[in-house]
Structure 1
Amino acid sequence: MTTLTINVANLDDVKASMRAGFRGEPQGCAYTFQTASDLLSTLTANRWAILKALTGAGPLGVRELARRVGRDVKGVHTDAQLMVGCGLIDKTADGKLHLPYDEVRLELVARAQAA
């Protein structure tokens, strides 16, 4: 099973992960946002529904995707284009949308602020 983890990390954490990957340590597949605000503004409830519908489904056309998420084609197309543009989902040569993962995990952590 292939899993995509969507998370928030600062640049130093991303660099450390890359260095570990270069040393041969498995890192898994991740899509990282710099801030929780970026993640939450990009991954709205409607876009999360698109990700869920694409997970493990293989390539889908916009009309079929809209049917599966219960939305209008134009709205799904707009949201999908944004996610293609930022690299969160793929677009095949024939224009279908694809998320090549069997599972998507969302990691969003809140920590106590230092006093």
Structure 2
Amino acid sequence: MNTLTIRLGGMDDIRSRVAQAAKLAAEGKAVEVEPTLNFATYEDMHRVLAPSRLAIVKVLAGQGPLSIREVARRVGRDVQAVHRDVTTLINAGVVDRAEAGIEFPYRNIHFDFDVKTAA
């Protein structure tokens, strides 16, 4: 588990991916499980992964558990502000709370979506 993939798409997209995996499994074929976080819209993703929060995720990537105070020191921000952002990231399923602090158990994030022009 080195990479978390971020995707945009609603429930139809998720259902389609699950159906494809179920079909492969029914045929006796290997199904590759890829850690994925789905957002319905770009705006939803940006609310969670705003630049200041993405900086926190980058600091955590591949580091193991860190205290919020240490994360705040590494990103050069106030501990209370980092705590609020970490709470948002935990609630969205981006980072995990561990006994020794908070962690992002991946080394990389892959964004898998297209940005299309307005209709």
TM-score range, shorter chain: 0.7 to 0.9
Matched, 1:101 2:106: yes
How many angstroms apart in 2 are the aligned matches of 1:5 and 1:17? Answer: 14
Identical-pair percentage: 34
Tell whether the 8 Å contact from 2:7 to 2:113 is kept in structure 1 after alignment: yes
Report how many aligned residue pairs link the two structures: 113
Q: Secondary structure at the match of 1:16?
A: helix
Q: Deviations over 1:18-63 (max 9, x none)?
A: 2233424214111000111101121111000011011101100001
Task: Report the residue type matching 1:15 in the other structure.
Answer: R
| 1:16 matched residue in structure 2 | 16
Query: Unaligned regions of 5+ residues in structure 2, if any?
Result: none
Tell me which stretches of 4 or more aligned residues in structure 1 moved more than 4 Å: none
| Correspondence 1:4-83 to 2 at 5 A | 4-22=4-22, 23=25, 24-83=30-89
Question: Is 1:110 equivalent to 2:115 in the alignment?
Answer: yes
Give 1 or 2 for the bigger CA radius of gyration.
Answer: 2
TM-score normalised according to structure 1 size: 0.88
TM-score where L is the length of structure 2: 0.85
Q: Which runs of no fewer than 5 residues in structure 1 stay unpaired?
A: none
Q: Distance in 1 between matches of 2:99 and 2:21?
A: 30
Query: One-letter code of the match for 1:51?
Result: V
